[in-house]
């Protein structure tokens, strides 16, 4: 499959810091891509370069096979920034129409798209209301609609679920899946790892302006697995002690998590239990959650102190 977006050695330096420092990756068309990283990792700067708001200091962006040209390609991108909002006093219908026209649709085309989307999201009755009359969830929904209205090839969502209740979050999640199925590519920036595991195929982890992890969710988990297995036995697991094949990591009721020692396999563990006469009810590999991987990689990297170095020291 072809790449919708390819970044090569992208750099953007501010006066006092390297916001994005030599980042390269590519995104397949139709995938849901997670861009992860702690606060101040350079995600927003990276996204602003992809949306043409900032120009990179060096490096190239290829969009849909060609060099990225903001003036022409902007209509193919929908960006919902983290700092987002709408004109509070403007009527909702007009506002959606205006934003669609700014993307480059002509008026009749915009009108038609706004109407179909409003119908689909059951927002038709909102047309003459003002944004200030909407609840937070409703305006978030409207914001999402205005982002994807022109059915862009690339949709960039920065923390799309913040402030949404589970019902509305699910609604938008379903729309994201739907858009991906219809061929749109979604870049999804967040630090909510459970959402990433649920939604994304491919992830990138950034820290201090650099890419420190790149791969499919499964690959990443495999890469960081610690050979841990969970075993459920009948009766209490209290009596089980370390053996040459494994050491016990933790135990709870009749559940046991063991770490296999180097040179042994999972079968060796099973064999040990079978020989000891225990009745095994379940045996699973324990893969680290993205959250754990994230914390492991970011912790101790001075990510927190960096937030302060943003203020220029003269």
Partner 1 sequence: MNKILLVARREFLTRVQKKTFLLSTIGLPLIIFGLYAMMIYFSVKSTDNFKVAVSDNARLFNGKVDDKKSTEIIFEFVQDDTAALKSKLDKGIYDAYLYVPAGFNAGSGKDSLQIRSGKAVGLLTREKIQSRISKSLEDKRLMALNISQTQIDSIKNEKDYIRFSSTSGETQKGSKVGISYAVGMISGFLIYIILFVYGTMVMRGVMEEKVSRIAEVIVSSVKPFQLMMGKILGIGSVGLLQFIIWIVLVFGLQIVLPAIFPEMAGQQQAMPVGPGAGAAAVQQSGAMATLMSGLQDINFPLIIGCFVFYFLGGYFLYSSLFAAVGSAVNEDPQDAQSLLLPIMMPVIFALVIMTKAVNDPNSSLAVFGSLFPLTSPIVMMARIAHGIPDGVSTIQLIISMLLLIGGFLGTTWLAGKIYRTGILMYGKKVTWKEMWKWAFRKS
Query: Tokens 């914390």 sit at which residue?
Result: 295
In eight-state DSSP terms, residue 175 is H
Give the list of residues 6+ apart from residue 265 with CB closer than 8 angstroms, or none: none
Within the chain, strands assigned E span 3-13, 18-28, 32-36, 58-63, 66-67, 77-80, 154-158, 185-190, 202-207, 210-216, 228-233, 246-252, 255-260, 280-286
Please identify, among the stretches 77-85, 192-200, 270-278, 290-298, the one whose residues bind partner 1 according to the rule CB under 8 A. Answer: 77-85
Choose which of 4, 74, 92, 155 interacts with partner 1 (CB under 8 A). 74
208 near partner 1, judged by CB under 8 A: no
Say how many C-beta atoms besides its own lie within 10 A of residue 29's C-beta.
16
In eight-state DSSP terms, residue 195 is H
215 near partner 1, judged by CB under 8 A: no
Q: How far is the CB of 84 from partner 1 (least distance, A)?
A: 5
The two three-digit tokens of residue 106, written as one number: 């002509």
Q: What interhelical angle do 136-148 and 92-103 show, nearest 10? A: 30
d(CA 226, CA 43): 29
79 near partner 1, judged by CB under 8 A: yes
Q: How far is the CB of 14 from partner 1 (least distance, A)?
A: 10
Residue 51 phi/psi, 5° resolution?
Answer: -95, 5
Choose which of 62, 87, 224, 283 interacts with partner 1 (CB under 8 A). 87
Buried/exposed 50-74: b ≥16 CB within 10 Å, e otherwise: bbbebebeebebebbeeebeeeebb
48 near partner 1, judged by CB under 8 A: yes
81 near partner 1, judged by CB under 8 A: yes
Q: How far is the CB of 53 from partner 1 (least distance, A)?
A: 5
The contact mask relative to partner 1 for 137-156 (x = CB under 8 A, - = no) is ------x--x----------
80 near partner 1, judged by CB under 8 A: yes
Among residues 158 and 245, whose Cβ is nearest to partner 1?
158
Choose which of 6, 18, 21, 53 interacts with partner 1 (CB under 8 A). 53
86 near partner 1, judged by CB under 8 A: yes
Among residues 61 and 213, whose Cβ is nearest to partner 1?
61
Q: Is 84 exposed, middle or buried (0-12, 13-18, 19+ CB in 10 A)?
A: middle
Partners of residue 243 on adjacent β-strands: 246
Judged by CB under 8 A, the chain residues 262 through 301 that form the site for partner 1 are none
Please identify, among the stretches 52-60, 112-120, 203-211, 250-258, the one whose residues bind partner 1 according to the rule CB under 8 A. Answer: 52-60
Among residues 132 and 285, whose Cβ is nearest to partner 1?
132
Judged by CB under 8 A, the chain residues 96 through 115 that form the site for partner 1 are 98-99, 101-104
Choose which of 2, 9, 72, 88 interacts with partner 1 (CB under 8 A). 88
Among residues 88 and 120, whose Cβ is nearest to partner 1?
88
> Cα–Cα–Cα angle for 75, 79, 82, nearest 5°?
165
Q: What is the CA radius of gyration of the chain?
A: 24
Choose which of 83, 167, 241, 262 interacts with partner 1 (CB under 8 A). 83
Partners of residue 11 on adjacent β-strands: 58
Judged by CB under 8 A, the chain residues 6 through 35 that form the site for partner 1 are 15
Q: Which residues bind partner 1 (CB under 8 A)?
A: 15, 48, 51-53, 55, 74, 77, 79-81, 83-90, 98-99, 101-104, 143, 146, 311
């Amino acid at each position: 499959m072809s790449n919708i977006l390819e970044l090569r050695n992208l750099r953007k330096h501010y006066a006092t810091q390297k916001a994005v420092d030599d980042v390269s990756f590519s995104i397949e068309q139709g995938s849901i891509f997670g861009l992860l990283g702690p606060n101040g990792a350079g995600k927003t700067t990276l996204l602003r370069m992809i949306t043409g708001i900032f120009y990179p200091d060096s490096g190239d962006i290829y969009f849909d096979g060609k060099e990225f040209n903001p003036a022409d390609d902007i209509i193919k991108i929908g960006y919902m920034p983290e700092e987002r909002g709408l004109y509070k006093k403007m009527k909702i219908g007009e506002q959606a129409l205006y934003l669609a026209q700014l993307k480059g649709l002509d008026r009749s085309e915009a009108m038609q798209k706004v109407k179909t989307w409003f119908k689909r999201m059951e927002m038709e009755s909102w047309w003459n209301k003002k944004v200030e009359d909407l609840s937070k969830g409703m305006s978030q929904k409207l914001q999402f609609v205005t982002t994807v209205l022109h059915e862009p090839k690339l949709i960039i969502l920065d923390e799309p679920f913040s402030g949404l209740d589970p019902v509305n979050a699910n609604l938008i999640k379903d729309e994201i899946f739907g858009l991906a199925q219809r061929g749109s590519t979604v870049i999804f920036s967040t630090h909510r790892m459970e959402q990433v595991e649920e939604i994304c195929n491919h992830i990138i982890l950034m820290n201090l302006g650099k890419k420190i992890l790149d791969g499919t969710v499964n690959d990443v988990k495999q890469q960081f697995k610690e050979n841990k297995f969970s075993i459920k036995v009948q009766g209490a697991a209290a009596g089980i002690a370390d053996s040459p094949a494994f050491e016990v990591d933790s135990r709870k009721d009749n559940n046991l998590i063991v770490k296999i020692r180097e040179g042994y396999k999972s079968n060796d563990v099973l064999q040990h239990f079978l020989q000891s006469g225990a009745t095994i009810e379940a045996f699973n590999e324990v893969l680290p959650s993205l959250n754990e991987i994230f914390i492991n990689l970011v912790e101790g990297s001075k990510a927190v102190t960096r937030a302060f170095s943003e203020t220029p020291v003269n």
